[in-house]
Amino acid sequence: MAYYQTEQQSFGIWPSLITRIEKWASFIASSREIEDKYSKMSTMIAGPVSELRQKYQVGLPNEKQVLDYLWDHPELIKTLQPLVKTARESLGDQVQILLQIWDDPIDRHLELVIRKSSYANILQDLDPLIEQSVELQRGAPNWIHVTTDYVRI
């Protein structure tokens, strides 16, 4: 009887071992999914954002926050690229263009912030960008807000 119990106990290890192997296999599969996710993020999100930074001198005070937001809302990339291009071409090199996240308890959205040395004609400068933004984003669930924070450069 003691031998039978010992044999039964030794067989009792196998289901536990199989369960552990299954958990490790699941962990490895989910790790690969995470790697794939970040690889896609690099291609879909980080690449275009890096291009905006280099080609149009766009500032990113908190790049990780912007990339995370764009990962959750990748449809904004299609709007962001022409909007930044228009901002830089129409306002020139004398302005600073920033991408940042507006984050408060009520609302969270991506902002295209324009900074100037003088804000005398800021509304005339922003109106064409806001109009283009509205046209590009018509019917979209999430918006890029074009604004200024009145910080002088």
17 within some domain: yes
- Counting the structural domains of the chain, the total is 1
Residue for token digits 């100037």? 116
Helix axes 76-91, 122-137, angle to 10 degrees: 150
Tell me the per-residue pLDDT of 86-140, one tens digit each, with 9 for 90 and over. 999 999 999 999 999 998 888 899 999 999 999 998 999 999 999 999 998 888 8
153 within some domain: no
152 within some domain: no
28 within some domain: yes
pLDDT value of position 37: 66
132 within some domain: yes
pLDDT value of position 11: 54
3-state secondary structure of 6: helix
Task: Write the secondary structure of 24-51 as one string of H (helix), E (strand) and C (coil).
Answer: HHHHHHHHHHHHHHHHHHHHHHHHHHHH
State which residues form the domain around 142: 2-147
